[in-house]
Amino acid sequence: MPSTIRVRATASGDQTDVQSLIQHPMDSGYVKDAKGELIPPHYIETVTFEHDGKVVLTAFWGPAVSKDPYLKFKFSGAKKGDELKVTWTDNLGKTDSSVAKIG
């Protein structure tokens, strides 16, 4: 199965810009389908970004975050060639992770 995560991280000087896109339905649990039945809640609860074994960002998400969420942030202390690991976990216990090289 193809990865649900896209990450791009670029370092310039001490600062690293990170952009990520995660493919996820992010169903809130309040929306009905075409038959009028509720679509059960299915959303990402946590996303973590790790650099060199250290968590640089943790996001606590919930049902209000939209489908296929996009996230952009900056952090310092990384250099080109380092690895950045992204992991998400949803309310059904599903998880996916991906490792990107900082360019």
Partner 1 sequence: MSARHAPAAGLALVLGLAVCGIAGARAADAVDPKADMKAFQAYFYEKFPNVKHEDFVNGPYSMDEGMRKQWEEKEEFPPYDFAVEKGKELFETPFKNGKTFADCFENGGIGVRQTYPRFDAKLGEVVTLEYAVNRCLTENGETPYSYVKDDMAAVTAYMAFTSRGKPFAITVPDDPRALAAYEAGKQYFYTRRGQLNFSCASCHVQNPGRRIRAEVLAPALGITAALPIYRSEWGGMGTATRRYMSCNSQVRGTPLAPDDPLYRDVDYFLSFMSNGLPISGPGARP
From the list 14, 55, 67, 94, which residue makes contact with partner 1 (rule: CB under 8 A)?
67
**What sign has the CA pseudo-torsion 10, 48, 59, 5?**
positive
Distance CA 49, CA 84 (A): 7
Q: Which is nearer to partner 1, 7 or 56 (CB)?
A: 7
* Helix/strand/coil for 73: strand
Q: Which is nearer to partner 1, 67 or 77 (CB)?
A: 67
**Shortest separation between residue 24's beta carbon and partner 1, angstroms:** 10
Show Cβ contacts of residue 83 under 8 Å, excluding neighbours closer than 6 positions: 51, 52, 99, 100, 101, 102
**Shortest separation between residue 51's beta carbon and partner 1, angstroms:** 20
What is the footprint of partner 1 within residues 69-88 (CB under 8 A)?
A: 70
Which stretches of the chain bind partner 1, using CB under 8 A?
2, 4, 6, 8, 19, 21, 23, 66-68, 70
